[in-house]
Structure 1
Amino acid sequence: MNVEIRITDKYKGKGLYAKKNISKGSVILEEDPLVSCQFSWNAAYQYKACDHCLRPLETAQENVTRLAGQFVELPYPECCTTDKSKIVSCPHCGVDYCSDKCQSEALDQYHKVLCLQTTERNCMHPLEKLNETWKQIHYPPETNSVMLIVRLLARILQAPDRSSAIQQTLGFCHRSVNEDADLAHKFLGEKFADQISLLHQMLVQAVPREGIEQFLTMEGFQSLLALIGTNGQGVGTSAISQWVKNVTELSMPEENRKKLDEFIESLYDQLDENSGSFLNNEGVALYTLQSACNHSCIPNAEPSFIHNNHRLSLIAVKDIEEGEEILISYLDECTLDRSRHSRQKELMKNYLFECRCPKCLDQADEPDVTSDEDEEMSEEASE
């Protein structure tokens, strides 16, 4: 492999390091997650994705028609990557998979425990009740799902070597009991923090207890909430984006290219008008190697989903030298452009650490105000 996990320093603990020189634009690593799942509201709004790998189950034509709210004929239909002939369903609970392979993997890893054993989805099963309760706490835009915890626990229950699966789960970043509780409350948000007890009770009712008792105590549940809150990686897939990628790579006369570009621009305007920014199948996953990546406000790598499923590709955004730490951003691009104080405030709130990257150290003498406060001060001074 091109990378290795090793202890870095007392502030960051472990980190991911390059074992050879890696050039900008290269794929540093690829990995499938321990578990992944689609966001609950995303699924409820008929964003059709494989229940295991999140690959789109709609054709690009079906995808764009749903998102636009009207029929829009796509040229070059051969550029769609969805193969509906391979879609299969669980014969017991009806969930859909993009292929026999995904159905088999899900069954082997966690689905035997979680299969509802009924095609009547009437919200009466404990798992359905847990999911519905979670949806009332996390409206779009979604950032995580309690169902990821459910799959993680089911994976342990189905593992051939349960103790090894438990250790793998415990290998993610763990903090003190008080820090886990603090993160869990912040993860749910101030408005819903008092519902941790309710979610805990519903989880205990929804999964078997034997062999995973340590995770089903209140402290264990708060630790799992903290785990997915700090290590969960967003996943996005899209039939239409894959179609756009493929058609733009076609060879064609310049006049045809211009017409195609105009069509795509107009298409995205239609989609934005009807569906806003919610265009993708979206979910969350836990990755062993990617989760070892520490944060920097000037990252040298970023996660990507070039296979249009939950398989993560870590891409170098700068040249990386052998022995150099591989760093990603835990913040979105908008937050990265804000003041040092704004960035530090966000990282401390959601991850409980103070960033010591070169950018933050260079800006250490800046006023301790957020970007919004800084803008207000500038406006007052100009007046």
Structure 2
Amino acid sequence: MYSFEIKEIPGKGRSMISTKAFAIGETIFEEEPFVSRQFSWNAAYGYKACDHCMRPLETVVENVRRLANNNALVVPLPEYDPTTPWLQQFTQCPNCKVRYCSEDCRMEALNKYHRIACMGAFHTDDTHPINALNEIWKKMHYPPETGTIMLIVRLMAMYKQSNNKEQFLQSLQSFQSLIVNTEQKIYHKMLGEHFEQQMEQLFVAFCRAFADEELAAFTNAEAFKALMGMIGTNSQGIATSPLAEWVKKVSDLPMPEGDKTKLDEYIDDIYNKVGEFAGEFLNTEGAGLYLLQSKINHSCVPNAHSTFPYSNDIVVLKAVAPIQVGEEICISYLDECQLERSRHSRQKILKENYIFVCQCPKCQSQATDPDETSEDEDDDMDMDDDDADMSD
């Protein structure tokens, strides 16, 4: 039984309303995704993960050595490697060889979509229509990735394998209507400046990959755009990291102050080394669609936050502020840095990516602020500094 309800709020639409009080740090709910998938470039660059739940499939030592491009690196306290429990259960599909963290994940994938999705020996064949579609996507959407066409590919397999296709379609429609206002073109954010031409190329490749009467409802231009819009506005980013989880574990260990200082210095050094080679791309990353989590509206002063504490794709929503009975539960669609930007900058990002104008308490309190982006503010500051230098 959930401690919230979904209501329609006049002028705001669908909203999640708390039916109990939550304290800071309290879990509101946990949820497995309707569907999830690793990003295409992330997989291509060797970020090994369970094909179903996205758990990392490399030890913390392997992870650090790959990220730093240095096979001589040693990680202390290896007994706290977070991947040990599931790497002992590692398995794979006997036909296409995709990897899973456990037999449970393999069977869940098989029962949900993999009977259809399995490409057998063609899994690594670049000429296979699905691999060709993925390659077209990758050439249009270089890192940093915010979505993947492979999420739609998995949805198609789920639909074909579903025993209740009407219920499946109802679940899709709960994310977003399959009718997209083409004037808004939300899907263009996933592609680039030349999105109309790219959408056409993707659509042709998509139809080639799914030339199946059973999928005829999806292989028309409007339905495909709707699917793209759906994952563009509803998909939740997922990130897992053996290194980050190892750091959490060892940082909480009781130890002498001198040993603690040495450990902190080692962790700083490791992050510097992996940063020099891998830059910001430290995590195994992907995206998922969540039936509950997608119902939560945005606020620039959120009272809840989505976390992934189990090193997989299970999302855990936690309160980051006290929540009262009858209060709306909100998360931020923006990251921490974006939340610190001006009202105009925040609203510009939200309107471009999610097609709404934020009316949260923070935005309302800043309604009289100048309509300029944070970059404009920075430029103004730079100009002021230059003027001051000239006056000197």
For the aligned pair, the TM-score class normalised by the smaller chain equals over 0.9
Which residue of structure 2 lines up, in the alignment, with residue 62 of structure 1? 62
**Distance of 1:141 and 1:211 partners within structure 2:** 34
> Is residue 256 of structure 2 the alignment partner of residue 253 of structure 1?
yes
Is contact 1:181–1:226 with CA below 8 Å preserved after alignment? no
Which residue of structure 2 lines up, in the alignment, with residue 32 of structure 1? 32
Structural mapping, 1:93-132, within 5 Å: 93-118=96-121, 121-132=124-135
Which residue of structure 2 lines up, in the alignment, with residue 3 of structure 1? 3
Q: Counterpart of 2:105 in structure 1: which amino acid?
A: C
**Distance of 2:19 and 2:319 partners within structure 1:** 14
> Is residue 273 of structure 2 the alignment partner of residue 301 of structure 1?
no
> Offset at 1:217?
1.2
Deviates more, 1:4-13 or 1:62-71: 4-13
TM-score (norm 2): 0.93
Which residue of structure 1 lines up, in the alignment, with residue 247 of structure 2? 244
Q: Provide Cα deviations, 1:238-259, integer angstroms capped at 9, x if missing partner.
A: 1111111111222222222221
> Is residue 194 of structure 2 the alignment partner of residue 188 of structure 1?
no
**Distance of 1:186 and 1:193 partners within structure 2:** 11
Q: Which secondary structure state, in structure 2, belongs to the residue aligned with residue 303 of structure 1? A: strand
> Is residue 224 of structure 2 the alignment partner of residue 218 of structure 1?
no
Which residue of structure 2 lines up, in the alignment, with residue 371 of structure 1? 374
Q: Counterpart of 2:186 in structure 1: which amino acid?
A: L
Which residue of structure 2 lines up, in the alignment, with residue 141 of structure 1? 144
User: Which consecutive residues of structure 1, in runs of 5 or more, have no partner in the other structure?
Assistant: none
Deviates more, 1:201-210 or 1:281-290: 201-210
> Offset at 1:12?
2.6
Distance 1:120 1:311, change over 3 A: closer
Structural mapping, 1:323-362, within 5 Å: 323-362=326-365
**Distance of 2:137 and 2:183 partners within structure 1:** 19
**Distance of 2:3 and 2:141 partners within structure 1:** 35
**Distance of 2:51 and 2:123 partners within structure 1:** 17
Is contact 2:37–2:286 with CA below 8 Å preserved after alignment? yes
Which residue of structure 1 lines up, in the alignment, with residue 14 of structure 2? 14
> Is residue 277 of structure 2 the alignment partner of residue 274 of structure 1?
yes
Identity of aligned residues (%): 46
Aligned length: 383
Picking from 155, 168, 171, the partner of 2:171 is 168
**Distance of 1:9 and 1:122 partners within structure 2:** 50
Which residue of structure 1 lines up, in the alignment, with residue 76 of structure 2? 75
> Offset at 1:339?
1.0
> Offset at 1:276?
0.9
Q: Which secondary structure state, in structure 2, belongs to the residue aligned with residue 279 of structure 1? A: coil
User: Which consecutive residues of structure 2, in runs of 5 or more, have no partner in the other structure?
Assistant: 388-392
**Distance of 1:159 and 1:101 partners within structure 2:** 19
> Offset at 1:267?
1.1
**Distance of 2:345 and 2:124 partners within structure 1:** 44
Which residue of structure 2 lines up, in the alignment, with residue 48 of structure 1? 48
> Offset at 1:336?
1.2
**Distance of 2:219 and 2:11 partners within structure 1:** 30
Q: Which secondary structure state, in structure 2, belongs to the residue aligned with residue 165 of structure 1? A: helix
Q: Which secondary structure state, in structure 1, belongs to the residue aligned with residue 217 of structure 2? A: helix
Is contact 1:94–1:119 with CA below 8 Å preserved after alignment? no
**Distance of 1:62 and 1:247 partners within structure 2:** 18
Task: Calculate the aligned-residue CA RMSD, in Å.
Answer: 1.7
Q: Counterpart of 1:311 in structure 2: which amino acid?
A: I
TM-score (norm 1): 0.96
**Distance of 2:189 and 2:269 partners within structure 1:** 40
Q: Provide Cα deviations, 1:18-52, integer angstroms capped at 9, x if missing partner.
A: 12111101111110001100001100010000011
> Offset at 1:271?
1.0
Distance 1:285 1:218, change over 3 A: same
Distance 1:266 1:186, change over 3 A: closer
Which residue of structure 2 lines up, in the alignment, with residue 206 of structure 1? 209
Q: Provide Cα deviations, 1:299-319, integer angstroms capped at 9, x if missing partner.
A: 111111000000001111111
**Distance of 1:84 and 1:157 partners within structure 2:** 31
**Distance of 2:206 and 2:248 partners within structure 1:** 41
> Offset at 1:176?
4.9
**Distance of 2:122 and 2:93 partners within structure 1:** 9
**Distance of 1:376 and 1:65 partners within structure 2:** 40
Distance 1:306 1:229, change over 3 A: same
Q: Counterpart of 1:41 in structure 2: which amino acid?
A: W
Distance 1:186 1:278, change over 3 A: closer
Q: Which secondary structure state, in structure 2, belongs to the residue aligned with residue 235 of structure 1? A: strand
Distance 1:210 1:4, change over 3 A: farther
> Offset at 1:181?
6.1
Deviates more, 1:23-32 or 1:248-257: 248-257
Is contact 1:87–1:97 with CA below 8 Å preserved after alignment? yes
**Distance of 2:122 and 2:88 partners within structure 1:** 21
